[in-house]
Amino acid sequence: MLTLGGFGFGWFREVIRIPAYVSEANQDAEKERKRIRAMVPPPVSPMRFAGQVCVGIYFGTVALIGLNSLSFFYLIVLPLCVGAGVHLVSSVGHQTSDLKKTLTACLITSPIFYGSTLSPLPISLAASVTATQSRRFKRPRTPGSTQELGPRLYRLGLAWLAFSAPLGYCIFHNTTATLYYLSDCVAALLDIFWFLPWLRGVLEYVLLMPYRILCVLTGGGYYEETWRRLLEILLKEYTEREKEALQVLSLKGEASLEDITRSYRDLAKTWHPDHNPSKNAEAMFMKINEAYEILLQRHRPQRFK
């Protein structure tokens, strides 16, 4: 569903196999049952085996992306996801395999490669070999029996939920980090245009356009300094060094350049070695100077040399 039928190849193959599907649907049910009894187990298919390995790796990779923060991930979650992908391909068409044996192979193989980012590959290989060894034909349906639409949609919905839930969890879990990364990128973009103040102002206006539209729709007002400070808070998250510098200068995160300068001057007078005879005065004075330089670079982008 996510890759649109295997990046289009699956859909293209379905078009080619339409005549085979029609012929299969027109076959007599009794002849089909006799054929299935005569062919036990079904022949080994290299294409099916390759599909089992690839889909198992695919499901395992999605689990690595979305659920690797769980403490029991490599022992339970990853083998179950890989086993589900392998069994999904094993159950295509008239064939299937033993799900218990497939999952057992995954659970046994997973601890061997505990913590490895390449673990989906050996787990998928072991599960695919086990599924191939336990392959069999599905039980034929009784003549005239049909599957209702409701249960089929229900199973399809469960499959979609099982696959999309890890991705949704990953997006929700990493939303804050993603926003900080995007805000750093936008802040760097604005800093590039320090030599064109009018262009920087246009970019700020465009970036805060949703906020202005919201104010118009809700009837709320806004002030120039308010939305500019909002832009600064949204687009510039403090780094660890800057947070330490703020602590040295006894400032909060929303401190302006004037607040930083005022606090620096007061602390510099207090801890200057000429005015403070204590032993750690010089070290503290250097620390205050370093913190001031760090925060000054944040508020005043460096010019090109």
CATH of the domain at 303: 1.10.287.110
Q: Do residue 46 and residue 159 come from a single domain?
A: yes
- Digit-by-digit pLDDT tens for the chain (305 residues) are 555 555 566 667 777 777 776 676 665 555 655 655 555 678 888 989 999 999 899 888 888 877 787 788 899 989 998 999 899 899 887 888 999 999 999 999 999 988 888 899 999 999 999 999 999 888 766 666 666 778 778 877 777 777 677 666 666 655 555 555 555 566 666 666 666 667 766 766 676 666 566 566 555 555 445 555 555 555 555 566 777 888 888 887 667 788 888 888 888 888 888 888 888 888 888 898 888 888 887 766 443 33
Q: Do residue 180 and residue 299 come from a single domain?
A: no
For residue 53 the two structure tokens come to 């390995």
Distance CA 203, CA 245 (A): 29
Q: Are 102 and 87 in contact (CB under 8 A)?
A: yes
Distance CA 276, CA 278 (A): 6
Q: Do residue 47 and residue 114 come from a single domain?
A: yes
Domain count, the chain: 3
Residue listed under structure tokens 């002849």: 31
Is 265 inside a domain boundary?
A: yes
The torsion angle over the Cα atoms of residues 158, 163, 164 and 167, rounded to 10 degrees, is: 150
Computed from CA positions of residues 86, 91, 95, 99, in that sequence, does the dihedral angle turn out positive or negative? Answer: positive
Q: Do residue 159 and residue 271 come from a single domain?
A: no
Q: Do residue 61 and residue 168 come from a single domain?
A: yes
Is 122 inside a domain boundary?
A: yes
Q: Are 106 and 80 in contact (CB under 8 A)?
A: yes
Q: Do residue 213 and residue 98 come from a single domain?
A: no
Q: Do residue 121 and residue 247 come from a single domain?
A: no
Q: Do residue 45 and residue 151 come from a single domain?
A: yes
Q: Do residue 127 and residue 251 come from a single domain?
A: no
The CA-CA-CA angle for residues 28, 31, 37, to 5°, reads: 140
Give me the pLDDT at residue 139, please.
76
Q: What residues make up the domain containing 166?
A: 39-140+147-173
Contacts of 79 (CB under 8 A, 6+ apart): 103, 106, 107, 109, 110, 123
